[in-house]
Structure 1
Amino acid sequence: MPTTIEQDTSWMLDEVLRVPHVQHAILVTSDGLLHSSRGDLPRDRADSLAAAVSGLVSLAKNCERTLRSDAGQWWQGLDEYPWGYLMRVAAARNTVLAVVAGREVDMETLSVRVQQVVQRLGQAMAAAPRAGQ
């Protein structure tokens, strides 16, 4: 049974899935936990993707701190593969929206839709950090 946060955010993830060639959209906490998932990715693979996305975001943040003494916040990342793309966008405090899309996706349309969804998610997506973070 979906949690309240999953119910509150599912319809927003569905907005991203309406972009042609988008296959999956997930919300991930900074510690790698799956908030919610939409699309055709089985739960065990969505959990694995959430952990991987969290790791990629952590690496990106560490790179920024290494390169800049005035490091701010990480915003987004994009990985390109032979089969398509993995887009990661900071969505709210300690939360990331990750989107998997095929090569045929119109990246401009996807980028605009993701930004619109991220703006609307606001506090509904904010995840409190775990103790010690």
Structure 2
Amino acid sequence: MQTTDNSLLWLLQGLLKKIPGARHGLVLSRDGLKLCWSDHLTLDQADQLSAICSGMQALAQGASVEFGDGSGGVRHSMTEFHGGQLFIVQAGAGAHLAVLAEESADPGVVGHQMTEFIDQIGDHLRAEPRGGAQGSAAS
């Protein structure tokens, strides 16, 4: 596993071991910064998956605002595609947890394990907003 936060390594690895058919895991910030990712994802794949998940969650957020109760909350997103499934859940303040699983993985088991994981350690999965470019322009 790779990470920018070494304390997440063993936690993410433990989650993946509990999910039959799980291939990859990723913790990312709301704006798409990868925080922790599993071994078999290359750096480029982790960047790509992080951007995909961030975009999907942003789209789901828009749908929630427009067609949900107005709170804009997105708890779970799931996409099934030929050859696999992608699950994304809100994971603490400003963070998301994503799991890529085999096509044959049971969505109920994957979702349950991810939710249980977030319930147990969600407070530790947070991504503070990155600072803006204020004052960074050179004169």
Report the CA distance between 1:2 and its aligned residue: 4.8
| Residue equivalent to 2:75 | 75
| Residue equivalent to 2:62 | 62
Instruction: Report how many aligned residue pairs link the two structures.
Output: 130
After TM superposition, the structure 1 stretch with the greater mean CA deviation from structure 2, 96-105 or 70-79, is 70-79
> Are 2:125 and 1:125 equivalent residues in the alignment?
yes
Letter in 1 for 2:73: Q
Post-superposition CA distance 1:84-130 (Å, at most 9, x none): 10000001111000000001212222222111111122232111113
| Residue equivalent to 2:11 | 12
User: Structure 1 pair 68/20, CA: closer, same or farther in 2 (3 Å)?
Assistant: closer
Report 1 or 2 for greater relative contact order, CA contacts < 8 Å, sequence distance ≥ 6.
1
> Are 2:37 and 1:22 equivalent residues in the alignment?
no
Q: Find the aligned partners of 2:31 and 2:70 in 1 and give their Cα distance.
A: 24
Percentage identity across aligned positions? 27
Post-superposition CA distance 1:52-93 (Å, at most 9, x none): 110110111011112246324111100000111000000111
| Residue equivalent to 1:51 | 51
Q: Find the aligned partners of 1:8 and 1:47 in 2 and give their Cα distance.
A: 20
Structure 1 portions without partners, runs of 5+? none
After TM superposition, the structure 1 stretch with the greater mean CA deviation from structure 2, 46-55 or 63-72, is 63-72
Q: Find the aligned partners of 1:108 and 1:81 in 2 and give their Cα distance.
A: 17
* TM-score, normalising length: structure 2: 0.84
* TM-score, normalising length: structure 1: 0.88
| SS across alignment from 1:110 | helix
| Residue equivalent to 1:86 | 86
